[in-house]
Amino acid sequence: MKNKTTATWLTFLGGPLGLHRFYLYGFGDVIAWLHPLPTALGLWGVDRMLTYGQDDKLSWLLLPILGLFMAYTCLQAIMYALTDQEKWNARHNPALPPDAAPGATNWLTIGALVFALMWGTIAFMSGMVYGFQRYFEYQIEEGLKISQ
């Protein structure tokens, strides 16, 4: 049985590592094994920014990848939380009746939904703002070099 609440919390807490995909589809899921790649690239961008400072151009590219991927996994958590009980059971618990308890929504599911909405928005906006800010600052610096 695949519980919707468990899948939603795994997506919210461990989505960037693909934990929810392993839970739902098993260790043979190729997409689950690809999830750590953008997460590792984004964390490498965080490390580069901490090591080389905010002027590191590669971190400008890598940090938004982390933010966007975290926002993507939070969106997946929201989609799982909002899936109807019948659809959830038909997709993940086909041997059970459509109104079986593993597909039901409860307060823990709603809590994961709220947190995923909040953190997904923060991750998305932070990643985009950082990338655009650094890009435009770089453009201004290059424009000043040309004008001198």
Q: What is the pLDDT of residues 3-58, one digit of tens each?
A: 999 999 999 999 999 999 999 999 999 999 999 999 999 999 989 989 998 778 88
Locus of tokens 């098993």: 26
- Token digits of residue 4: 């919707």
User: Under a CB-based contact definition with an 8 Å cutoff, are residues 21 and 32 in contact?
Assistant: yes
Q: What is the pLDDT of residues 66-88, one digit of tens each?
A: 888 999 999 999 999 999 999 99
Alpha helices in the chain (DSSP H): 4-14, 19-25, 30-34, 36-52, 57-82, 85-92, 107-147
Report the predicted TM-score, pTM, of the whole model to 2 decimal places.
Answer: 0.84
User: Under a CB-based contact definition with an 8 Å cutoff, are residues 6 and 111 in contact?
Assistant: no
